[in-house]
Amino acid sequence: MKKRHSSERIVAKLRQADIELGKGMKVPEVCRGLGISEQTYYRWRTKYGGMDPAMARQMKEMEKENARLKKLVADQALDIQILKEASRPNL
């Protein structure tokens, strides 16, 4: 499933929502205006609340790097296990 919004776009929408909420609009009205559900709004606010677009971009890059490093560690652990099994004497 492809994501519809980039992290920069999400941060921009959250800022717009904060402006609208400051004007006295209710959350359901703001969500309708942004074209998102209330659940999506609250999920985004939990994850991206208080970020600027540069921070969101940096977070996304760090998530990619973290995934790459986890894969590298898993591959290394597999290689170590193979070497341990190969070094055991055959009985």
Percent of the chain residues past pLDDT 90, beyond the cut:
64
Q: Is the pTM of this model over 0.75?
A: no
- Phi-psi domain of 2 (left: phi exceeds 0; alpha: psi -120 through 50; beta: other): beta
Q: Are 49 and 21 in contact (CB under 8 A)?
A: no
Domain span including residue 11: 7-87
How many independent structural domains does the chain possess?
1
Residue 31 within a domain: yes
Residue 77 within a domain: yes
Residue 15: half-sphere exposure toward Cβ, Cα within 13 Å: 10
pLDDT for res 91:
62
Residue 1 within a domain: no
Reported as a single tens digit per residue, the pLDDT across 27-36 is 999 999 999 9
Reported as a single tens digit per residue, the pLDDT across 13-62 is 999 999 999 999 999 999 999 999 999 999 999 988 888 888 888 988 99
